[in-house]
Amino acid sequence: MKIFSESLVASAAQDLHIANLATATIGEVLLIAQHLERETGIPFIRMDQGSPGLPVNQYGVEAEKAALDRGVGSQYPAAAGVPELKEAASQFVKAFLDIDISPRSCVPTTGSVAGSYGSFIACTQRIPGKNKVLFIDPGFPIQKSQLRIIGAEWEEFDIYHHRGAALHDKLEAILSRGDIAAIIYSNPNNPAWICLEEEELAIIGRLATQYDVIVMEDLAYFCMDFRRDLGHPFCPPFAPTVARYTDNYILMLSSSKIFSYAGQRMALTCISDKLFERHYPALAERYHDAGVFGQTLVASILYMITSGCTASTQYAYAEMLRLSTEGRINFVEDTREYAHRAERMKHIFTDNGFHIVYDYDATQPVGDGFFFTIGYGDMTGGQLLTELLYYGVSSISLSTTGSEQQGVRACTSRMREELYPVLEERMKAFHEDHPL
């Protein structure tokens, strides 16, 4: 039995000016869920927005308070970042990736959204004729919206059928055309939670060097592949990264998920030292500066977007990184709760006729974590999204993430203990109403 009638959901969509529920964005689905909760008092199972669902890291809070008490709020922060954060970032990258990046090349950004936005601009303008971005999908829809704003083009492909060695031929066929400026992906992946394996990262790195393409690696869910014990600084195993296989990389490290510090909008753009110092005549001509990649990105692009990052939050992030590097914070264990939630939620769905869409990495079953993907019978992603709304469950269609597979993305972050029996009851009703 449905919780919300089709007419009630349609009326909510009309009131919110949402033209098509099947292709609704994250923000639109969020509005629908909030609207129906407010109108009826019936709680939703919120699997839409990937907002942290754990308490904020208190070490960061205390460090930020102390910074404000010292008076840092009265002065503009340097565009390149405060020295304490840059140094802590360099050490953190060494501790958990075993990669050497100098403090100079670690640049704070107002969330990874600002980091990718600025990086897209610099990457697509550095060499005439190399002006497209390649998305290894599924991925984060906002990044394509950023390219629409700056007028840059992109290409994309769903990695579902191109895992392992098969990735090489697919990538080379695209890169050999000569117009790709950058490749972007998330690892672990939003929305599928798949993880690129070493063979695949090596392929990406080698081809990036061969075709002079910059790899933008979004590490929002850093070390959150809970199948491996990645939480010990300076001890293997280290988190996987393309930085082992090319000098053409930009790593984006956000504080939002690993430290639950999303509200303060703080991230890092960590650039290969060789790329940071590389000179591009096209950048020099456009910006009337030295044309050095890192300098142009910081002073001529990022500063124009956000004028630097909040000073007090930089000190908070620096403290959390420093304590992690010293082994006093184990952010991997702190975030493992998401894996426990995913395991329980997956069982409820699969026990009621659902299947996991992205169920395998190249060589092993996909892990449990912040996201997972589900399908139901032969329903399209849009149909499933809409049908789930009638049962008080919000999600997003995989089609909005560049995926060619049919299903929806489920986020674990808002799940609470008292909601598991509610989810189970509703999915039993869904299964009864939709016999396979």
Domain limit, last residue, from 265, 297, 325: 325
Query: Residues 35, 121: one domain?
Result: no
What pLDDT does residue 403 have? 96
Asked if 381 contacts 404 with a C-beta cutoff of 8 angstroms, the reply is no
pLDDT (tens digit, 9 = 90+) per residue, 91-116?
Answer: 999 999 999 999 999 999 999 999 99
Domain limit, last residue, from 279, 297, 325: 325
Query: Residues 132, 218: one domain?
Result: yes
What pLDDT does residue 52 have? 95
- Total number of domains in the chain: 2
In a domain? residue 279 = yes
Quote the domain boundaries for residue 150: 58-325
Is the pTM here over 0.85, yes or no? Answer: yes
CA 276/CA 248 separation, integer angstroms:
9
* CATH code for the domain of 261: 3.40.640.10
Asked if 30 contacts 48 with a C-beta cutoff of 8 angstroms, the reply is yes
pLDDT bin (cut points 50, 70, 90) of residue 4 is very high
Average of per-residue pLDDT across 195-215: 98
* CATH code for the domain of 48: 3.90.1150.100
What pLDDT does residue 21 have? 85
In a domain? residue 409 = yes
In a domain? residue 69 = yes
Query: Residues 237, 315: one domain?
Result: yes
Positive or negative: CA dihedral 89, 91, 95, 101 = positive
**Would you tell me the crossing angle of helices 6-15 and 381-390 to the nearest 10 degrees?**
110
pLDDT (tens digit, 9 = 90+) per residue, 285-344?
Answer: 999 999 999 999 999 999 999 999 999 999 999 999 999 999 999 999 999 999 999 999
In a domain? residue 45 = yes
Query: Residues 192, 275: one domain?
Result: yes
In a domain? residue 276 = yes
Query: Residues 341, 202: one domain?
Result: no
Domain limit, last residue, from 263, 298, 325: 325
Query: Residues 220, 96: one domain?
Result: yes
Query: Residues 243, 304: one domain?
Result: yes
Whether 22 has a pLDDT exceeding 90, the answer reads no
pLDDT (tens digit, 9 = 90+) per residue, 31-58?
Answer: 999 999 999 999 999 999 889 999 999 9
In a domain? residue 251 = yes
What pLDDT does residue 19 have? 87
Indicate the average pLDDT of the chain.
Answer: 96
In a domain? residue 171 = yes
Query: Residues 34, 78: one domain?
Result: no
Whether 269 has a pLDDT exceeding 90, the answer reads yes
In a domain? residue 1 = no
Query: Residues 297, 278: one domain?
Result: yes
Query: Residues 101, 193: one domain?
Result: yes
Query: Residues 184, 230: one domain?
Result: yes
Query: Would you state the structure tokens that stand for residue 350, as one six-digit string?
Result: 């699969």
Query: Residues 254, 346: one domain?
Result: no
